[in-house]
Amino acid sequence: MSLNAHQRRVTSAELRANLDLAGLDTATLAAQLGLSTAEVEDALDIGPATDPALVWRLRDHLESAARAAGAQPHAYTYLPERMRSAAQAWFGVGDHRFSD
C-alpha cells in the first residue's frame, strides 16, 4: 500500500505533531536515528520516493519519544498499528518503538 498525496500530507503533519510533542528538533532526531538532517526532513515531508520503512521508523521513534516526554502521541490516520503486519510484508518494516 502506497500513500497518495493527501495521505502523505496528513501523515507528514502527524509525524511533525509528534516531533513537537517529543520536544525534539530535526537535528536531534537525526542524531538519535543515525541519519542526516536532510534525510530526516525528507522523510518527514514524505515525498513520493520516500522509503516507507523509514517513515514507519520515524513513526515508531516519535511515538516512543512523545511518550518518554510525558505526552500522549498524536494518532496516525494512515499508519495505524493494525497496518503494521501489512507494512512488514510489503516494505520489510520493523518495530522501532522503545520503552521509557
pLDDT for res 8: 94
What percent of the chain is modeled with pLDDT above 90? 61
pLDDT for 18 beyond 80: yes
Degrees, nearest 5: CA angle 77-98-85:
50
Cell numbers for 65, please give them. 519519544
* pLDDT bracket for residue 85 (50, 70, 90): low
The predicted model gives 77-100 an average pLDDT of 63
Q: What is the pLDDT of residue 23?
A: 98
- Residue 89 above 80 pLDDT? no
Question: How many C-beta neighbours within 10 Å does residue 86 have?
Answer: 11
Q: Sketch the domain layout of the chain as residue ranges.
A: 5-91
Residues 26-75: pLDDT tens digits?
999 999 999 999 999 999 999 888 888 899 889 999 999 999 999 999 99
